[in-house]
Structure 1
Amino acid sequence: LLVQWIGGVHNDALMVACIAVAAVLMVRRGWPSLAAGGVALGAGMSIKQAAALAGLGLVAVAWESRHRAGVRGWWRLAATAVVPGFTTVATFVAITLASGLGMGWGAPSAGSPIAASSNAPLSWVASFLRYNEFAPEATVNTVVTGLSMVLILAAIIALYFWIGPKADQVGRPWLFLMLSMLSFGVLGPAMQPWYLTWLVPFIAFTRPDDRARLGWWLLLVGFTMLPPLQDFMPPYVAMGVVLVPLAVFVWWRRSGRSGTVSA
């Protein structure tokens, strides 16, 4: 976090801080706290629009708290989503109009995230299509960005049915929150190594087991190595370079455990 958020001066730090504040507010059971959580999320969206992906996850976090208090039913769950949803949109629109930033992604200065190759797999697809001139650059960017949005939406819907909140169930709210945010990196038009820091404040709440903790640390180490490597090679090559020693470590660890069991 010191390297990426402070040393790198990334606005992701402010976005994640707003999401964390929203989570703290929304675990409280009163309607004013839900509304205030939406304001915090709307502020986060005004910094970086990817904060919107945390919306349903925060609703899940809020529902877990209310569920413990005996609240049940689809209408109550819907209200738990609508109240912060309204204040989120209202806050984002108000900040946008006051600042004149043009809804963030809609401003002429926003550019196109898919226009450059990053750690996002779809950006590699777009680069390949542009390089081989399968279609005009603008067409490639538009089509791949549209595909990305569809895939992200499909992923969040799938996550909801898997671990999202239901009328009489809480699901796994913190994991739902994290995976919803991670869907942007995996399926989005752009991903940078520091996007993984979005998950850092929330990982402990998922209560990971030993295997999950090991996977998390390996992922974190790998992504920490990417920025300096990408100064010398394309992102997809750097990811391959990082993957090899990590895969060897996993193989060595699994082999060591197997040998211990056999002995």
Structure 2
Amino acid sequence: MAFPVDLRHCQALGLAGTAFLALGGETAGALPVRELWAPASVHAALGLVGVYFGIVLLTAAWLFLGRLVRGPRPPTPRALLLVLALWAAPLLLAPPLFSRDVYSYLAQGAMADAHMDVYAHGPDRLGGPLADEVAPMWRHTAAPYGPAFLALASALSGLTHGEIPAGLLGMRLVALAGVALMAGALPRLARHSGADPAAALWLGALNPLVLLHLVAGAHNDALMLGLLGLGLVAAHGPRPAAGALLVTLAALVKVPAALGLPVVVALRIRSGDRPLPAVLTTAAASAATTVAATAVAGTGYGWIGALGTPVSPHNWALTSLLGRATGALLTRLDSGLAPLAVPAWHLLGLAAAAVAVLLTGRRLRAQPVYALGLSLLAVAVLGPAIRPWYALWGLFLVAAAAPGTPVRHRSAALAGVLGLAVLPGGGPADPGQLVLAVSGGVLGVVVLWQALLAAQAPVPGRPA
């Protein structure tokens, strides 16, 4: 017997999930330093259990919603957008979750507002309460973001006068605006690619990674992806120069979006433009946008050098793991090459990513948006650093243009697994925290299972 599923139950279950996330985050999230609870405290423990309980409920709601989307009477894109708004609502005023990056954004915005060189100095140069909120490993690190984002962060700093609560709310609203752009672009990209708009929204905007990391975590990847999606939509239309402008702005938030520029050219050629004019006009629009954004930000061109900003020595990217393992082996062999192991693997990873991008673009020439999604996934996986939300770089466009259901199923499985990968405080886990997280997840599974069994039980007096 199939479990009963309808849109109303999915709405309620997902809302319960994000409500538990918000409540648990009050004691287990990436709180301001003065509000942090000791990890061993009862409040922090209950908060951690509550967050993982909420993740399980949210993920289950999303999977049930996927069954409806694939069913005979799928919900309309408008109905799915309302579900997204409902699920996101409890997270609007929640503390940051799963990362302390938002505090780095605020500190870098304050530095730019004070005319400090964010590409030469880390938040430690700013000092004060904002610098204290930045994760220790990043306090001495220059900003790795483009001038478009730093101009926005600087404006927000001036508007909020450096007040942390107002700044956190402002950054979350920026992230929500990015998610709104993503949700607006997905159905249109799906129609252009011959895909189902409802399925695109389900995988690309409603999946748990978007809510956990772009909304609750307030990551600037939301703005990058929103501008990238809007730019690709514009590139399909009568004003393709607007597509180049928007994709360039996305790259001036975070540089991986620059891979969208060749796709703008490809879409222009498919629309009837000759190759050389398409390349030249796209390049001209991109260059003009870069110069204008850099001038407005007032940060200069130090952002080009900042692309080499070091990554965390403990990140779990594939190339970093292989580099550390190789370095440990070389150390045991008393080799002087041990310090070169991690940089060498990072270079190999970047080279492999470049090859993957070229091969994907060549093989999927007729499906440029899908090729871009797979290319961004390759960059995320083979790059020198990876975090769960980096998978959204590719999943967003795979959702819009995937040619078949199996690809969507594999993408959904990836999103579901990565949703469980990071603790709500954003720091490394100790064994006790892992036990609490697993306990919260298991509790969620048990509660769901009992509720589903109760829903299947026959009602006295009603025919079975």
TM-score, with structure 2 as normaliser: 0.42
1:149 to 341, 350, 354: 350
Superposition pairs of residues 81-230 of structure 1, within 5 angstroms: 81-96=279-294, 98-100=297-299, 102-104=301-303, 106-107=305-306, 111-113=309-311, 115-132=312-329, 133=331, 135=337, 137=339, 139-164=340-365, 171-228=366-423
1:79 to 271, 277, 281: 277
Q: How many residues align?
A: 214
Distance 1:41 1:193 in 2: 23
State percent identity of aligned pairs.
23
CA shift at 1:184, angstroms? 0.9
Superposition pairs of residues 29-108 of structure 1, within 5 angstroms: 29=238, 33-64=239-270, 66=271, 71=272, 76-96=274-294, 98-100=297-299, 102-104=301-303, 106-107=305-306
Structure 2 partner of 1:237: none
* Counterpart residue identity of residue 240, structure 2: L
Distance 1:225 1:105 in 2: 34
CA shift at 1:55, angstroms? 2.4
CA shift at 1:154, angstroms? 1.3
Cα deviation digits, residues 25-56 of structure 1 (max 9, x gap): 11114xxx222222212211221111112222
Distance 2:363 2:407 in 1: 18
Distance 2:300 2:310 in 1: 16
Summarize the Cα distance change of 1:103–1:147 in structure 2 as closer, same or farther, 3 Å threshold: farther
* Counterpart residue identity of residue 232, structure 2: A
Distance 1:136 1:99 in 2: 41
CA shift at 1:93, angstroms? 4.2
Deviates further, 80-89 or 11-20: 80-89
Q: Greater helix percent: which structure?
A: 1
CA contact (8 A) 2:364 2:371 kept: yes
Deviates further, 5-14 or 139-148: 139-148
Matched, 1:20 2:229: yes
Unaligned runs of 5+ in 2: 1-209, 431-437, 439-464
SS at match of 2:378: helix
CA contact (8 A) 2:251 2:257 kept: yes
* Counterpart residue identity of residue 45, structure 1: A
Considering only CA atoms, is the larger Rg found in Structure 1 or Structure 2? 2
CA contact (8 A) 1:49 1:104 kept: no
Unaligned runs of 5+ in 1: 165-170, 234-240, 242-263
Cα deviation digits, residues 215-259 of structure 1 (max 9, x gap): 1111110111112398327xxxxxxx9xxxxxxxxxxxxxxxxxx
Distance 1:207 1:172 in 2: 9
RMSD of Structure 2 on Structure 1 (CA): 2.9
CA contact (8 A) 1:61 1:173 kept: yes
CA contact (8 A) 2:349 2:383 kept: yes
CA shift at 1:211, angstroms? 1.8
CA shift at 1:140, angstroms? 4.2
Structure 1 partner of 2:428: 231
* Counterpart residue identity of residue 106, structure 1: G
Summarize the Cα distance change of 1:112–1:85 in structure 2 as closer, same or farther, 3 Å threshold: same
Cα deviation digits, residues 166-208 of structure 1 (max 9, x gap): xxxxx11221110121121122111110012223443343244
CA contact (8 A) 1:4 1:10 kept: yes
CA contact (8 A) 1:45 1:92 kept: no
Distance 2:284 2:346 in 1: 27
